[in-house]
């Protein structure tokens, strides 16, 4: 019987549009009846949704396995690199303290973005952006949705394309930990650090990508995301080759964000993706 697997999912605790409970229910609905389901919640720089996620999953423990995770944004020589963490202790003090600093940095960035938008003539303020729950990460998609709500743009994508993406007039950089620090935080909390979507880092050429993998392996990296919704067969083969070369476990996920990325579905990404069951063999959960 096929196991439905998605190890890269975002909820309303960061920049997704489905609550952790809704993600559990949606995953079960999409999977064939009685088929096993393994999903991981990997919100950006927060574990605020994990308790709800695990409570919702516990009602279906005969069929569904829920992995506690997160995705930490890091700075690698000026390039934003993401490190996934699986099977983490969400009560680890060092991890929680550092994530709080990440959110404070993001909050300061949000205020600067709002200021830049105001200078462009947009009538918006930070007071109009409220988190749904304590510890939720407020990020650029929340600002994009406010712009859409006020009819300045017709979609979240348009807000990014015109104003919020890197290189646009209202983009603001933010302070982030290094990948090595993220790996330490994840391992110190009992988790498994995994390099996310290597092929999305377009600023790095192939030699720089390989240097990144080597450096992070030396820093304690355990895995690499080999299966990802935008990968071509050639890209997937390339990442799998790096995994084999450096003795890294392979993981995979769609990077599901709900309606913020409506072209991406759970389990299948843009329609053709499938995470094979073999990724679970070395992923302790």
CATH number at residue 110: 1.10.150
244/131 same-domain check: no
25/41 same-domain check: yes
- Report the largest interatomic distance among the alpha carbons of the chain, rounded to a whole angstrom: 57
185: in domain: yes
pLDDT at position 250 is 97
pLDDT in tens, 50-104: 999 999 999 999 999 999 999 999 999 989 999 999 999 999 999 999 998 888 7
9/49 same-domain check: yes
244/121 same-domain check: no
Single residue among 134, 164, 194 that ends a domain in this structure: 164
CB count in 10 Å sphere of residue 101: 13
Q: What is the dihedral of CA 136, 212, 254, 173, to 10 degrees?
A: 40
144/235 same-domain check: no
pLDDT at position 102 is 85
pLDDT at position 258 is 94
Specify the CATH number for the domain of residue 58.
3.20.20.140
Whether the pLDDT of residue 284 is over 80: the answer is no
89/181 same-domain check: yes
22: in domain: yes
pLDDT at position 181 is 97
169: in domain: no
pLDDT at position 282 is 85
87/189 same-domain check: yes
How far apart CA 114 and CA 143 sit, in angstroms, is: 8
What's the domain range around 128?
Answer: 102-164
171: in domain: no
Distance of CA 205 to the CA centre of its chain: 22
Single residue among 164, 193, 209 that ends a domain in this structure: 164
pLDDT at position 214 is 98
Q: What is the dihedral of CA 79, 236, 16, 189, to 10 degrees?
A: -70
180/261 same-domain check: yes
How far apart CA 135 and CA 125 sit, in angstroms, is: 20
155/34 same-domain check: no
Q: 124-138, 142-156, 170-184, 271-285: lowest mean pLDDT where?
A: 124-138
253/146 same-domain check: no
Q: Which residues contact 140 (CB under 8 A, 6 or more apart)?
A: 15, 110, 113, 160, 164
How far apart CA 270 and CA 215 sit, in angstroms, is: 31
Q: 258 vs 25, 40, 143, 255, CA distance in Å?
A: 13, 15, 17, 9
185/267 same-domain check: yes
184/256 same-domain check: yes
Number of domains in the chain: 2
Whether the pLDDT of residue 285 is over 80: the answer is no
**pTM as predicted:** 0.84
Q: Which residues contact 280 (CB under 8 A, 6 or more apart)?
A: 3, 5, 38
pLDDT in tens, 11-43: 999 989 999 999 999 999 999 989 999 999 999
pLDDT in tens, 118-131: 999 999 998 898 76
């Amino acid at each position: 019987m096929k196991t439905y697997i998605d190890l890269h999912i975002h909820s309303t605790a960061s920049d997704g549009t489905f609550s952790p409970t809704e993600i559990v229910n949606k995953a079960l609905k999409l999977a064939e009846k009685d088929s096993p389901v393994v999903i991981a919640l990997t919100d950006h720089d927060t574990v605020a949704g994990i308790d709800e996620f695990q409570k919702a999953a516990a009602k279906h423990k005969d069929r569904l396995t829920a992995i506690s995770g997160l995705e930490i944004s890091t700075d690698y020589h000026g390039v934003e690199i993401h490190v996934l963490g699986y099977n983490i202790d969400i009560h680890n003090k060092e991890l929680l303290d550092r994530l709080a600093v990440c959110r404070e940095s993001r909050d300061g960035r949000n205020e600067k973005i709002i200021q830049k938008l105001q200078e462009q003539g947009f009538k918006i303020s930070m007071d109009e952006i409220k988190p749904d729950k304590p510890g939720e990460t407020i990020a650029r998609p929340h600002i994009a949705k406010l712009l859409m709500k006020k009819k300045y743009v017709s979609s979240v994508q348009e807000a990014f394309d015109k104003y919020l993406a890197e290189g646009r007039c209202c983009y603001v950089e933010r302070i982030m930990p290094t990948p090595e620090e993220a790996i330490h935080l994840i391992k110190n909390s009992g988790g498994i650090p995994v390099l996310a979507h290597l092929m999305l880092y377009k600023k790095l050429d192939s030699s720089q990508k390989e240097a990144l993998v080597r450096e992070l392996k030396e820093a304690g990296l355990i895995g690499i995301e080999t299966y990802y919704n935008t990968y071509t067969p050639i890209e997937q083969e390339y990442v799998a080759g790096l995994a084999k070369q450096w003795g890294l476990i392979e993981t995979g996920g769609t990077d599901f964000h709900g309606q913020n990325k409506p072209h991406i579905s759970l389990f299948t990404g843009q329609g053709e993706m499938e995470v094979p069951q073999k990724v679970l063999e070395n992923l302790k959960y």
